[in-house]
Amino acid sequence: VRLPLHECLPLTEWTDRPRSGQQAGPGGYRPAGWRPSRKRPACPYPNPGRYEPGGRLKQGMRVAFSGDTSVERELLEDRATEAGLHVAGSLSRLTSLLVTNDPDSGTSKVVKARQYGTPVVDEAAFGQLLGDVEAAPEG
């Protein structure tokens, strides 16, 4: 292991700009795994309820993500928003679907989804579901 593991900078050299592979805030350093919250527009469609396994996603469904993803999380969230889904940062009884790379993991969101009866799918299944989202009823 080569030391130091992280480049040490004097306080006078810290910036608010991230270096490649890092996201920075006050103090100039944040681990690459940290994601800032993103402000999203309100979903224009009402929540039609939970996803029925084997069925189609419907515009307005509330979707949450858990754990690392093979595709950039922001890209998945953007694709979901463009399809008319409501992207949620947390899981509640109103969540229609939880997307994770490991549906059998013990993350707090997966555990909560199981308690609430919220369906859990992996990222690949979600990608397929995004290809055929049912339009919200008009009126």
Q: What is the pLDDT of residue 105?
A: 87
Per-residue pLDDT of the chain (139 residues; tens, 9 = 90+): 565 565 555 555 445 544 444 444 444 444 445 556 667 788 999 999 999 999 999 999 999 999 888 888 999 999 999 999 999 999 999 999 999 998 888 889 999 999 999 999 999 999 999 999 999 988 6
Q: In what helix (H) or strand (E) does residue 66 lie, and over which residues does it extend?
A: strand 62-66
Q: What is the pLDDT of residue 51?
A: 98
* Cβ neighbours for 84, distance < 8 A, ≥ 6 positions apart: 43, 44, 45, 59, 60, 133, 135, 136
The answer to whether the bond into 4 is cis (omega within 30° of 0) is yes
Written as six digits, the tokens of 3 are 């030391």
**CA atoms of 17 and 29, how far apart (whole Å):** 9
Residue with tokens 């006078």: 12
Q: What is the pLDDT of residue 5?
A: 61
Q: Phi/psi class of residue 67: alpha, beta or left (left: φ > 0; alpha: ψ in -120 to 50)?
A: left
Q: How many CA atoms lie within 13 A of 13 on its CB side?
A: 5
Q: Which fold has domain 41-139?
A: Rossmann fold (3.40.50)
**CA atoms of 109 and 120, how far apart (whole Å):** 10
Whether this prediction's pTM lies above 0.75 is answered by no
